[in-house]
Each structure stands twice: as structure tokens, then as C-alpha cells.
Amino acid sequence: MVKKVLNFLQVGVLATSSYVTSIVVLLIIIFLFNEGAGVFTKSLLEEGFVIAVNKSNKLNAISPKDIKNIFDQKITNWKQIGGDDNAITLFSIDELPNFYTEEEIGSDFEYMDTCINNYIANHPNVLAYFPERNVAKNFQGKMIKVGTLGVFEFVKGKEWLPTARPVAQLGILPLLLGTLMVSLGAILLALPFGLVTAIYMAEIAHPVARKVLRPIIELLAGIPSVVYGFFGLIIVVPIVQKVFSLDVGETALAGSIVLAIMALPTIISIAEDAIRNVPNNMREASLALGATQWQTIRSVVIPYSKSGIMTGAILGIGRAIGETMAVLMVTGNASNMPTTFLQPVRTIPATIAAELGETANGGLHYSALFALGCILFLATMALNLYVQLALKKRNR
């Protein structure tokens, strides 16, 4: 009876632990996507500010892109965005002293609201940008609605300027390309070295050498990423700068090299296990037919363990995609559209790490960073699903 009760309690504890863990993970995912979805429902206009025009202006809404182009002087006429054929007059609160005296504004700015109201009412072609608290009670202008961000614009946008005024620019294409370039470069560097090392340890190395090498390789996986970042900053970055005669060495290539070193233990360990699991009778049959050891490795061992090797490569990519500190230290952290591996880039994890501590809780920038986290989660989940399918194929 006592044994049954103990067994029941043990099963209950294990089941509870499993369910609680699953629920916590699910709640984290729900929280992540709930916070990230806010970027598509909030206005891109700077919080606490408004955009207003004269009442005679027939426009009721302006897209965030058009507002940016207006303030960048790329759009100078209302006709370009569907209005009348008149030149656009920009106005901000900083320009108020140019049109009104100190007495009119007030020594304590008590008449500022009235001055802004009068300026907008007397200038039919104005586009005004000012704090919401300065909207007069009898406001004679017309508030312009600023559109929200669409998913397609979020993904294809080429500018990441979440604190830009008057509207934020939230295009993640440079961050996506930077992440893909660094990760792809890392796996292209790490996979050949990892595969060669795994073949040597599994097929060629003396048992004593294997016992020495394996702990050393596994030790590399336990080194903190910030240590890799320091190594890259002190060693890799100057070498890249000198070899390619660059102004700065913090580039996508430097990030790829550091991540390749970090991914090597994962690739080597999994690939070696896959190679060692090849049945000995297949090796013996190949050797009995007259094949050399290298021919057996190339034509029998590697094809048989291909899915396991690919699993190691995918898991290595997963670490490269999600790495933060080391990448932040050696890639230059510049959110420009990258064209070569010799340019500074910014990755999604580095962006989240660098900016999340400076954002207001619940704001647009805050939601945008959570949306980046959602994209990172979907990318790693896709890689994990691929690994699971590869393992099932290997088992079959």
C-alpha cells in the first residue's frame, strides 16, 4: 500500500512538473506575441505629439512614409499626396518665436496654445507638428490621423529608426539581412572544419587522442559568449581590418568568424556521434570490396550519417541566429542595408539587447522589439522543426 502511494506521488510530481513547464513556456510565447502585435496597432507618430493642418485642407489622413518624406523635403506640394496644388508650409513648436513675440507667447508660455491655434488658422497650407498638451480648447485646425504600420512594410522597410521624429521608421530588412549574413557566414566557415574534425575523431584518431580532444571541444561550449566577444574584439577584428585594409574591422565577416568558433562544439559533437553510429558491418563490407579507408569514409560513412551531420549544422545555425553579446561586440552594430561581408551590420538579437533597456514600457519602440523577438522565435522554431524531421528521417 505504501509503495503504491509513493509511486502515485512520484508520478504526480513528474506529471505536475511537466504540465507546469509546458504551461509556463506557452504563457511566455503568448506574452511575446501579444506584446509584439502592438507595433501593428499603435500610431507611428511620436507619443504625446499631434499632426494638424488648416481646416480648409481636404486631407484627413497621411501615411507615415509621406510624413517622413514631407519633413525630409522630398514632398513639398500637397498635390503630391492627393491635396490641392499648394506648397507645404512646415511648422513646429521650435519655430514659434520666429512668428510671435515673447509678450504674445507669454513669459511662462501661457499663451503658446493660442499662438499655435492662430498660426494654423491663418495658414491654409500648413502642416504643424507640436505637443498634444498645446492643443487649444477652441482649436481651429484639423487633426491628421497617422496610419499604423503594416506587416509587409515592417518586413520590407529599409530603415530602422524607432526614435525618429515625427514618425518612427520601423523597417527590419537591414536587421534580417544582417542576421542572415552573419549566420550564413558562420555556418559556411564552421561546417567544413567541424565535419573534418568529427571525421578525424570518429574514424582516424587514436583512442588516447580522442579522449584528450573531446573534453577540450566540449569545454569550448561552456565558455561565456562575452568571452568570445572579447576574443573577437581584440584578435579577430584587428586581423580583418588589416587583411582587407578597412577603416573599421567590426564587420559581418568578424561576426561570422566568432560565431563559427562558437558553433564548432555543437557541430563536432553531433556529427561525431552520427559518424560513430554507422554500423561497423558497413565499413567492413566496403573494405572487403577493396575500398580504402578514405573511400569508405567518403562513400559509405558520410552518406549514411548525412542526416545527423545536417542536424549538427542546423543546431549550429540556431546558436548563431540567437547569439547576442558576441555579435554585438564585433559586428559594428550599424543598421544599414548590408551588401558585403566587409560592412558593419546589426543583427536582430543584438538590436534587442542594445535597445530594450532604453525603451518605455508599452511604447511603440517596446512593441517593435518584441516583434523582433517574435521573428527570432519563428526562425528558431522552423530550424528545430527541420531538425526533428531530419532525425525522423535518420531513424527510418
Q: End-to-end distance of the chain based on CA atoms, in angstroms?
A: 43
pLDDT of residue 391: 64
| Closest by Cα among 209, 223, 210 to 264 | 223
pLDDT at 337 over 90: no
- Asked if 125 and 87 touch (Cβ cutoff 8 Å), the reply is yes
Which triple of cell numbers denotes residue 228? 568570445
Q: Residue 371 CA to chain centroid, in angstroms?
A: 9
How does DSSP classify residue 370?
Answer: H
Instruction: Say yes or no: 141 and 182 in one domain.
Output: no
Instruction: Say yes or no: 370 and 256 in one domain.
Output: yes
- Mean pLDDT, rounded, for 267-275: 87
pLDDT of residue 183: 87
Instruction: Say yes or no: 70 and 212 in one domain.
Output: no
Say how far apart CA 67 and CA 75 lie, in whole Å.
9
pLDDT at 292 over 90: no
Instruction: Say yes or no: 353 and 227 in one domain.
Output: yes
> Residue for cell digits 514631407?
70
Give the contacts of 149 (CB within 8 A, at least 6 positions apart). 39, 40, 44, 64, 170
Instruction: Say yes or no: 203 and 324 in one domain.
Output: yes
Backbone φ and ψ for 347, nearest 5 degrees, come out as -100, 165
CA distances from 385 to 314, 373, 388 (A): 10, 18, 5
pLDDT in tens, 2-27: 777 778 788 788 888 888 888 998 99
Instruction: Say yes or no: 259 and 299 in one domain.
Output: yes
Instruction: Say yes or no: 121 and 234 in one domain.
Output: no
Give the contacts of 332 (CB within 8 A, at least 6 positions apart). 248, 250, 251, 343, 344, 345, 346
pLDDT in tens, 23-54: 998 999 999 899 888 888 888 888 888 889 88
Here the CATH number for the domain that contains residue 232 is: 1.10.3720.10
Q: Is residue 159 a part of any domain in this protein?
A: no
Total domain count, the chain: 2
- Mean pLDDT, rounded, for 292-314: 82
In percent, the amount of the chain with pLDDT more than 90 equals 9
- Asked if 54 and 91 touch (Cβ cutoff 8 Å), the reply is no
Say how far apart CA 145 and CA 139 lie, in whole Å.
16
Domain that holds residue 195: 173-395
pLDDT in tens, 133-183: 888 888 888 888 887 888 888 888 888 888 888 888 888 999 999 988 998
- pLDDT band for position 390 (cuts 50, 70, 90): low
Q: What is the CA radius of gyration of the chain?
A: 30
Q: Is residue 16 a part of any domain in this protein?
A: no
Instruction: Say yes or no: 268 and 384 in one domain.
Output: yes
Q: Which of 113, 147, 181 is the last residue of a domain?
A: 147
- pLDDT band for position 236 (cuts 50, 70, 90): very high
